A = this chain, B = another copy of it.
């Protein structure tokens, strides 16, 4: 390792350790912090952020970075070193290109927007939120301009969450996906009314215990992780040996708790299997939100909503809830957890409709950013697209364009990563089924290890050394596309709903 790269790593290590500390502070804030700690915590978070930012943008650090770039440029140099330097540069550019006053204004604007959004959603009062939305998107546009982009300002925003992907690429993929999904939904028709299998009293303690067991089953290591309660499930990590999942159990609804555990567990496995040598630096952990989501969705849906998986685990679930489940067989359960429905709400959506919710948001936020859509016209545009894509419109804005917190938070360009994750998961799953011919047999016997080993070798081991698109090519033999996902939903829901493949 060159001396310049060594010097960069010494300094960058301090900064990335501060980022890891920030993760832990955030976890604690959502899980353990006493109520009166809020004011102090927000100061501590802001201070860690400011100190890390100062260190990252200090002229002496930029000079270290420049010298390390020169030293790592020649071909034949260590690939990981090159990746390290590239990731530092990426973070530097994100931090340095946007002027500090704009960052501060954005932070103030999104704070207010979140506050107003909470009330607006509660009172179905979109009008009060519209000016805040206008402000946030205006600032997002300025941020995009400062960051720079080749074709579309949305490129610059999406790049923060999914490095290297373009609006045009995403648009092309979504354009294929949308009519296919609308058509499949049409064929599924009006689903028969759901059994109330999942909606019975399920004591939280037993749900937690079963979720803990499921996480062990899929290979989550509790020597290097935890499971706690929080208002919304999330995964947070500060090293490969300290990965923390949270879940939220609903007393009268079984799915959110156990599928939340599998979802966050999928994120957690990606972080736990990041090679130890990357700890405390920019190469640790998942390479993008989309690839991260491919891991959570793979375990939640492709494994976790499959019949072989539940043929093994359902009897154990019944053991936890004999009174609630003794009257239902595993096929009843399988149908219940895979019910397709035309919901207004994204987070309640199934595997077929979920991506339609995302495509709608992608199209709308792109237009809000360029000004093609005026914030005053958002509800109308939202409802029109809902009717077109899902065949239903929400009865009010609270269940429509006010349902997500993302835009109030300033998270623009984030939504597409959910669908990219689903598509990548499908490609990985297809590859896994080819590479491990007897994967169903393994799942039928409760053995998830072959799947995890495959992911570890083909995805987790790469950590953040490559762009997401490179990871997908390396692990699935091809670029991100729609074919694997279409085949998967066609086959699965075709069988479930007795509708033929077109």
Give the interface of A toward B (CB within 8 A): 13-14, 17-18, 20-21, 24-25, 28, 32-41, 43-44, 46-48, 50-51, 55, 221-226, 238-243, 276, 279-280
A21 to B17, CA, bound (A): 13
Are A238 and B37 in contact, with the CB atoms below 8 A?
yes
Complex-state Cα separation, A242 to B51, whole angstroms: 22
B36 x A224 contact (CB < 8 A): yes
Q: How far is the CB of A32 from chain B (nearest CB, A)?
A: 7
Contact A37 B279 (CB under 8 A): no
Is there contact, CB below 8 Å, between A238 and B40? yes
Q: How far is the CB of A188 from chain B (nearest CB, A)?
A: 43
Q: In whole angstroms, how far apart are the Cα atoms of A51 and B17 in the complex?
A: 10
CB neighbours of A38 from chain B (8 A) = 241
Q: Tell me whether A279 and B40 are in contact (CB under 8 A).
A: yes
Q: Contacts A14-B47, A39-B241 given: A34-B222 contact, CB under 8 Å?
A: yes
For the residues of A in contact with B, the DSSP-based class is helix
Contact across chains for A18 and B279 when beta carbons are under 8 A apart: no
* Chain B residues within 8 Å of A242, by CB: 33-34, 36-37, 40-41
Q: How far is the CA of A37 from the CA of B47 in the complex (A)?
A: 24
CB<8 Å pairs between A and B, sample of 23: A14-B51, A18-B47, A21-B25, A21-B47, A24-B25, A24-B28, A33-B242, A34-B226, A34-B243, A35-B223, A35-B241, A36-B224, A36-B242, A37-B239, A37-B241, A38-B241, A39-B276, A39-B279, A40-B239, A40-B241, A40-B242, A41-B239, A43-B279
Contacts of A224 in B (CB 8 A): 34-37
The reply to whether A47 and B238 contact each other, CB–CB distance below 8 Å, is no
Provide the bound-state CA to CA distance between A192 and B296, in Å: 65
Supply 6 further A-B pairs (C-beta < 8 A) apart from A21-B21, A32-B226, A40-B239. Answer: A13-B47, A18-B47, A21-B47, A24-B24, A34-B222, A35-B224
With A28-B24, A226-B32: A17-B37 Cβ-Cβ less than 8 Å: no
Chain B: which residue is nearest A280 at the CB level? B43
CB <8 Å contact, B40 and A21: no
Cα-based distance from A25 to B25 in the complex (angstroms): 8
- Which residues of chain B are near A280, meaning CB under 8 Å? 40, 43-44, 47
Q: Are B222 and A14 in contact (CB under 8 A)?
A: no
Given the complex of chains A and B, what is the CA–CA distance between A241 and B36 in angstroms?
Answer: 5
Q: In the complex where A43-B280, A44-B20, A238-B44 touch, is A32 in contact with B34 (Cβ < 8 A)?
A: no
The chain B residue with its CB closest to the CB of A244 is B34
Interchain nearest-CB distance for A219 vs B (Å): 14
Complex CA gap A74/B222 in Å reads 59
A241: nearest residue on chain B (CB-CB)? B36
Residues of B within 8 A of A33 (CB): 242
Among the listed B20, B37, B41, B223, which residue makes an inter-chain contact with A34, where contact means beta carbons less than 8 Å apart?
B223
State A240–B241 Cα separation when bound (angstroms): 31
> How far, in whole Å, are A483 and B264 apart by their CA atoms in the complex?
62
A50 — which chain B residues lie within 8 A by C-beta?
Answer: 14
Chain B neighbourhood of A24, CB < 8 A? 24-25, 28, 44
A34–B242 Cα gap in the complex (Å)? 6
CA distance A82 to B20 in the complex (A): 36
**Which residues on the B side are within 8 Å of A37 (C-beta)?**
224, 238-239, 241-242
Instruction: Tell me the bound Cα distance from A40 to B408 in angstroms.
Output: 34
Once bound together, how far apart are the Cα atoms of A361 and B225, in whole Å? 41
What is the bound-complex CA distance between A224 and B20, given in angstroms?
25
Q: Please report the C-alpha to C-alpha distance between residue A18 and residue B14 in the assembled complex, in whole angstroms.
A: 13
Bound Cα distance A279, B17 (Å): 24
Which 10 pairs from chain A and chain B are nearest by CB?
Answer: A40-B239, A37-B242, A36-B241, A17-B47, A36-B224, A14-B47, A37-B241, A17-B44, A35-B223, A43-B280
| Closest chain B residue, CB of each to CB of A243 | B34
Check if B48 sits within 8 Å of A17, measured CB to CB. yes
A297 to chain B, nearest CB (A): 25
Chain B residue at minimal CB-CB distance from A47: B17
A34 to B222, CA, bound (A): 7
Closest to A17 in B: B47
**Whole-angstrom distance between the alpha carbons of A48 and B25 in the complex?**
13
Chain B contacts for A238, CB-based, 8 A: 37, 40-41, 44
Residues of B with C-beta under 8 A to A222: 34
CA distance A258 to B197 in the complex (A): 46
A30 to chain B, nearest CB (A): 13
Task: Tell whether, in the assembled complex, residue A39 and residue B226 are in contact, meaning their CB atoms are under 8 Å apart.
Answer: no
Please give the distance in Å from A362's CB to the nearest CB on chain B: 36
- Residue of B25, B28, B36, B225 near A221 (CB, 8 A) is B36
- Assembly CA distance A39 to B39 (angstroms): 30
Which among A13, A25, A242, A276 has the highest number of chain B CB atoms within 10 Å?
A242
Name which residue of chain B comes closest to A228, CB basis: B32
